[in-house]
Structure 1
Amino acid sequence: MKSIKFRTADMAWDIAALILLPPDFDESRQYPTIVSVHPFGSCKEQTSSNVYGAALAREGFVVIAYDASYQGESGGAPRFVEDPAQRVEDISHVIDHAITLPYVDADRIGAIGVCGGGGYALSAALTEKRIKAVVGITPVNLGRLFREGFSNFDPLGALDAMAAQRTKEARGGDLQVNELLPASLDDAKRNGLTERDVFEATDCYKTPRGQKPGGATRMVFSHAQKTLTWDAFAFAETFMTQPMMVVIGQKVGAFGAYRDGMEVYGRSIASKDRQLVELEGWSHYDIYDKSEPVALALERMLPFLMRHLRISKNAKVAAAL
């Protein structure tokens, strides 16, 4: 695994990334490459690299897991901005860098993403045709979530509050940085925050299970206006032409991955190969890192990505084809 920072010609800050390499890696060969997109409020060291990225690398893919702009070790200010348009653009910037690497086959690039990252990966594939296959793992359409649960189903009220707060900040006031989760499982229980997704997210991000320094689970409130009008799946009927797969758990939670996954699968009628994988008895956060549901997801993902990125199922490393 390599830790890198890069900046393409049209970027104003660095992107930090981990490059995971196959066994017996040979820099003189070219490999199919996966861009791995972390969840909302997460970072590259969590599920995007240490779970799915590591598994794909073991099967012969080069995997690039990176921190989104404004988050983790990547640049951009103010910190903790969640900007869907920038998150999608980050994917293109990572591809721009990847295709300069001699061991990356520019014609065999795929993308995967988890949670909000799944929504971003699917959204990027609509217009980024260098992506030849895409997998949304328990994908969430963050725009829909902000319009509904994250704004208490009052998006216009949220926009008014964001406008007022941004005015205060422009006049010298402090940034309002919202913590997205309870501080601990005990805190969640004390405050009645035991809805499945909220409680399981707290277990994932606020305990040693998945806690990492870059996984801040914080967001600048005043810079989230455009999220409310963003739709990860806009025009999917026309523009999702690549092979696409959606992996969702059947145990439904408030963040809406089951609903969003079903929606984008249903709308992607132009896809050359669309597949829906439902994991019975598993929830959104189970699919992040629990061994059994992850194995079930990979059981379907690996043949799909190998087929569409032209790698033998039995290969330990990707040969130049």
Structure 2
Amino acid sequence: MERVSFRNRDMAWDIAALILTPPGFDPAKKYPTIISVHPFGSCKEQTSSAVYGKALAEQGFVVIAFDASYQGASGGEPRWVEDPTQRVEDVSHVIDYAVTLPYVDADRIGAIGICGGGGYILNATLTEKRIKAVVGITPVNIGRLFREGFSNHDPLGALDAMAAQRTAEARGGDLQVNELLPASPEAAREAGLTDRDVAEATDYYKTPRGQEPGGATRMLFSHAQNTLAWDAFAFTEMLMTQPMMVVVGRKVGAFGAYRDGMEAYGRATASKDRRLVELEDWSHYDIYDKDEPVALAMEQMLPFLKQHLTTE
């Protein structure tokens, strides 16, 4: 695994990434390559590289897992901005970098994303035709989530509050950085937060199971306006022409990945090869890193990606 950072002519900061390579890697050869997108509030060291990136590299792919702009070890100020347009643009910047690497086959680039990253990568694939196949792993449409649960189903009220906070910050006030999760599973239980997704997210992000310094689970409140007006699946019927797979768990929670994955799959009628994988006994956060559901997901993902990205 190699740590790299890069920028191109369109960027004002560096993107930090991990490059994972297959066993017996030979830089003189060309490899099918996967761009891996981390969840909302996450970082490249978590599930996007340590679980799915590692598994795909072991099966012969080069994998590039990166930190979103404003997050993790990537640049961008102010910190902890969640900007869907930038998150999608980051994918193209990473591909711009990938195609300069002599061992990356520019005609065999695929992409995966987990949770919010799954929504972002499906959206990126609509217009980024250098992506030849895509997998959304328990994908979340972050715009839908912000308009609903994250705004207490009051998106206009949230926008008014963001506007007031941004004005206050422009006049020298303190930034409002919202913590997305309780500090610990114990704190979640004490607060009566019993929803499956909230409890399991806390168990993943706030314990040694998945906790990483770069996975801040924070959001700058005043800069989230664009998120409420964004839709990961807009124009999917027309523009999702590449092979697409969606992996979802049947145990549903408040973040809505099952619902969003079903919508993405249902709308991708122009895809050359669309596939839906439903994991009957598993939840959104089980699919992040638990051995059995990850193995079940990989059983479907691996032949799909090899079919569309390899010449063997």
Q: Give TM class, smaller chain.
A: over 0.9
Distance 1:253 1:107 in 2: 38
What is the aligned partner in structure 2 of residue 136 from structure 1? Answer: 136
Q: Does 1:300 align with 2:291?
A: no
Q: What residue in structure 1 maps to residue 206 of structure 2? A: 206
Q: Deviations over 1:228-267 (max 9, x none)?
A: 0000000000000000000000001000000000000000
Gap regions ≥5 residues in structure 2: none
Q: SS where residue 48 of structure 1 aligns?
A: helix
TM-fit CA distance, 1:180: 0.2
**2 CA distance for matches of 1:259 and 1:311?**
34
Q: Give how far 1:310 is off.
A: 1.7
Question: 1:144-169 CA deviation, whole Å, 9 max, x = no partner?
Answer: 00000000000000000000000000
2:179 aligned partner, one-letter code: E
Distance 1:18 1:226 in 2: 28
Q: What is aligned with 1:145?
A: 145
CA distance in 1, matches of 2:123, 2:191: 35
Residue-by-residue CA offset, 1:48-93 (whole Å, 9 max, x unaligned): 0000000000000000000000000000000000000000000000
Which residue number corresponds to residue 272 of structure 1? Answer: 272
| Alignment correspondent of 2:230 | 230
Provide runs of 4+ in structure 1 moved above 4 Å: none
CA distance in 2, matches of 1:233, 1:245: 14
- In the alignment, the residues of structure 1 paired with residue 185 and residue 106 of structure 2 have an alpha-carbon distance, to the nearest angstrom, of 44
Letter in 1 for 2:303: P
- TM-score normalised by L of structure 1: 0.97
Whole-angstrom CA distance in 2 between matches of 1:311 and 1:210 = 35
What's the counterpart of residue 242 of structure 2?
242
SS at match of 1:216: coil
The offset of 1:311, in angstroms, is: 4.7
Matched with 2:186 is 186
What are the superposed Cα offsets for residues 196-215 of structure 1, whole Å, 9 maximum, x if unpaired? 00000000000000000000
Query: Which letter does structure 1 place at the counterpart of 2:22?
Result: P
Take 1:246 and 1:7, find their aligned partners in 2: how far apart are those partners? 30
CA RMSD of aligned residues (A): 0.4
Equivalent AA in structure 1 for residue 270 of structure 2: A
Determine the structure 2 residue equivalent to 1:282: 282
Amino acid across the alignment from 1:162: M
Unaligned runs of 5+ in 1: 313-321
